[in-house]
Amino acid sequence: MPNNILIVAETRDGAPRKVAFELVTVAKQLAQGMGGKIEVFAMGSNLASAAQALAQAGVSKVYVADDAALDASRFAPELHAAVLADAIRAAQPAVVLFGATGVGKEISARAAAKLDWGLVTDCTDAKFENGALVLTKPVYAGKAIATVKAKSLPAMVSVRPNIFPPVEANASAAPVEIVAVKMVNVRAKVAERVKKAETAVDLSEAKIVVSGGRGVRGPEGFEPLHALAKVLGAAVGASRAAVDAGWVDYGTQVGQTGKTVSPQLYIACGISGAIQHLAGMSSSKNIVAINKDPDAPIFKVADYGIAGDLFEVVPALTEELKKVMAEK
Amino acid sequence: MNAESTFSVVVLIKRVPDTETRIQVKDGKVNTEGISWVISPYDEYAVEEALRLQEKYGGKVTLLCLGSEDAKETIRKGLALGADDAVHLNDPAFEGGDAATTARALAAALKKMEYALVLAGKQAVDEDNAQVAIRVAELLDLPHVNAIIKLDLADDKKSARCVREVDGERDMMETSLPAIFTAQQGLNEPRYPSLKGIMGAKKKPIADWKAADLGLDPAHLGAAGAQIQVERYDPPAPRPPGKIIPGDPATAAKELVRLLREEAKVI
Ligand SMILES: Cc1cc2nc3c(=O)[nH]c(=O)nc-3n(C[C@H](O)[C@H](O)[C@H](O)COP(=O)(O)OP(=O)(O)OC[C@H]3O[C@@H](n4cnc5c(N)ncnc54)[C@H](O)[C@@H]3O)c2cc1C
């Protein structure tokens, strides 16, 4: 069997999600040990331009399943998993890489069961060592790090977004192959997309995250955080206390029972730093804490802390950034 | 399978360390001493939803748990919440497996059980695999809906409408029944056990099933059948101590921006 690596690229609104280009970096790292070609598979509708972008990511080939029935707004896990499994059978890779997004985790699990393959979820590193696929995977929400081995190949891996740098899609274009879509009997499907994602950048993919906790005191309290996020081009997250109070949507919750984020910069405002919150953000590259209690546990993980009232510090920070950005 | 007589819901539950627990790692292993164990939080939402369905439609709630003998205590917690009975996949042959072997055992158990639908957590908060319930659905050729925050059954209980929240998007999904649903935070507010519930749980039946009861070859189960194996555990890399920036808000903000630009180089 060839030692090829297949990347399953997710798209949103006709463009590949950033994690797809990060997966190319992972694949290149694996290919150093494995040899083999790097190929990409994308499924959805109206994928012509997404396919072109992926074809220029320095890969050997792009397979595309392009059909109105595969549009994200009509998501049907049985169909998507079946189409994916067909593509994997045809491409015969040794390793399949997914982004560990909500959808990526879901379809990889169903396809893995269909093909009876092993799957390691939400990895932060993937290497090919002494003939074996070795993965690094945070467990217990990051309180421990597991080193995991696939005893045999083929196997599937989902990789946490924002860990690896994305490749630039500026290589000469690889061939794009349109694959036939075989319909299956579907019982569960999206009837209606109730709410579109607010931003193109998902919280888990954002470079900078500004989060608010109980200290913001109410839905209006998030306004200065949004203003700061706007200047920084950041996504806005929250602690569970803020979510439970109904100030913001659950989709913004960071932590053990929310999203795991690892941005370049995480700014925690009015968040105490409970162990379940830390679990979701302590792999951020830089952490800033703004909290009026100098003994708050969040300061133990912060690289930079300001012990003060967030309603004074956050606007001051926004102003200072505006000044600095204008100078640039 | 789809019993006409009783409306049965099976809930998959897993025993995990309480999320408050600090995980201690020693010699490549997780030190389980002093850990307090709970039903995985997402599974709690699943149990709660099953109990609410039972309150509405009658019938029976059965817990299904794969785990060592110690998991009995966790199963009793679920029974104390109000579930009627439980099946415990309790055999060393099941242990040390991966998501695939666990799903294989659970699917084989479900084949012997009656249910109108199956509920589970969207992931267990120990290994955060987020695979097992979906794999079970595929193995049983059942539809699944992942990460639901709302579940409504049709009057004839032959189909369901649910809302799920994934990657910042919210979808209304429909499925025929039987199906497997995985619970996301927001589905409901789990109840606490009552004293009466805790007392009553001691008398509720828990059936122990072994690999042989499921007609499964131990070579395909647990550590023997697992393709994915944990080699070792390590503590996460410690973070270097940080700086507290002094001064009034404007001064501190200014200094923070300077540090983020010049030292951290992130903006
Ligand atoms: C099973 C389980 C799962 C959980 N999962 C999660 C999860 O995924 N994510 C999560 O976040 N939590 C989670 N929690 C909850 C967690 O234990 C904490 O309760 C929660 O994180 C606290 O949120 P907080 O820091 O916003 O609130 P608090 O702990 O109340 O802290 C508020 C902070 O704001 C500060 N503050 C107040 N006013 C100001 C001001 N004007 N300026 C500056 N600072 C101010 C205070 O000093 C305080 O430190 C979970 C809990 C359980 C049991």
> ipTM of the assembly?
0.95
- Return the residue in A13, A84, A105, A159 with the most chain B beta carbons within 10 A, the one to mutate for interface testing: A105
What average pLDDT does this structure show over A21-25?
Answer: 98
Identity of residue B174: E
Q: Is residue A39 part of a domain?
A: yes
Q: Which atom of ligand 1 is nearest to the CA of A298?
A: 49
- Give the tens place of pLDDT for each residue, B217-231: 999 999 999 999 999
Instruction: Give me the domains of chain B, ranges plus CATH numbers.
Output: 8-225 (3.40.50.620), 239-267 (no CATH)
Q: State whether A65 and A171 are in the same domain.
A: yes
B229-to-A69, A121, B65, B102, B223 alpha-carbon distances in Å: 37, 13, 21, 13, 8
CATH number assigned to the domain comprising residue A63 = 3.40.50.620
Mean pLDDT of chain A: 95
Verify whether ligand 1 is closer than 6 Å to residue A274 (CB atom): yes
Question: Is A189 part of any domain?
Answer: no
H/E segment holding residue A212: strand A208-212
A128 in the same domain as A81? yes
Q: Do A17 and A159 share a domain, yes or no?
A: yes
Q: Are residues A80 and A133 in the same domain?
A: yes
Q: Which atom of ligand 1 is nearest to the CA of A290?
A: 43
Q: Cβ of A119 under 8 Å from any chain B Cβ? A: yes
**Looking at the 3D structure of chain A, how many domains does it have?**
2
B157: closest CA among B117, B119, B118? B117
What local confidence, expressed as pLDDT, does residue B3 receive? 44
Which pLDDT value is given to residue B143?
98
- With contact defined as beta carbons under 8 Å apart, do A98 and A104 qualify? yes
Please check the confidence at residue B5 and state whether its pLDDT lies above 80.
no
* pLDDT tens figures, A90-120: 999 999 999 999 999 999 999 999 999 999 9
Statement to judge: residues A160 and A243 lie in one domain:
no
Alpha-carbon distance B128 to nearest alpha carbon in chain A (angstroms): 6
The confidence score (pLDDT) of residue A328 equals 73
Stretch A128-136: mean pLDDT, rounded? 96
Contact assignment for B143 to A81 by CB distance below 8 Å: no
A18 & A141 share domain: yes
Mean pLDDT of A62-87: 97
Span from the CA of B116 to the centroid of ligand 1 (angstroms): 38
Alpha carbon nearest to ligand 1 atom 26, residue: A213
A171 lies in the same domain as A215: no
Tell whether A285 lies on the interface with B, counting CB pairs under 8 A: yes
Within a domain: A187 = no
pLDDT tens-digit readout, B99-143: 999 999 999 999 999 999 999 999 999 999 999 999 999 999 999
**Closest Cα of chain A to B34: distance in Å?**
16
**Whether residue A229 sits in one domain with residue A312:** yes
Q: For residue A320, tell me if it sits in a domain.
A: yes
In a domain, A153, yes or no: yes
pLDDT of B14 above 90: yes
Q: Which of A10, A19, A106 is the best substitution to test chain B (most B C-beta atoms within 10 A)?
A: A106
Distance CA B40, CA B21 (A): 13
pLDDT digits (tens, 9 = 90+) for A265-275: 999 999 999 99
Residues A142 and A68 in one domain: yes
Q: Region B157-163: what's the mean pLDDT?
A: 97
Distance CA A308, CA A292 (A): 4
CA of B10 to the centre of ligand 1 (A): 34
Looking at the structure, tell me whether residues A239 and A106 fall in a common domain: no
Q: State which of A243, A250, A257 you would mutate to test the pocket of ligand 1, scoring each by most atoms of that ligand within 8 A of its C-beta.
A: A257
Q: Tens digit of pLDDT for each residue in B174-191?
A: 999 999 999 999 999 999
pLDDT value at A211 more than 70:
yes
- The pLDDT score that the predictor gives to residue A201 is 63
Nearest to A150 among B171, B228, B232 (CB): B228
In a domain, A183, yes or no: no
Residues of chain A contacting B167 with CB distance shorter than 8 Å: 101-103, 197, 202, 204
- Residues spanned by the domain of A161: 5-178
Whole-number average pLDDT of chain B:
96
pLDDT at B2 over 70: no
Residues A55 and A167 in one domain: yes
- Contact partners, residue B30, CB within 8 Å, separation at least 6: A140, A144, B23, B24, B233
Q: Which of residues 213-242 of A touch B (CB under 8 A)?
A: 232
Q: Which residues neighbour A283 within 8 Å (Cβ) at sequence distance 6 or greater? A: A124, A138, A142, A260, A262, B236
What is the CATH number for A315? 3.40.50.1220
Average pLDDT of the segment spanning A161-174: 95
Prediction pTM value:
0.95
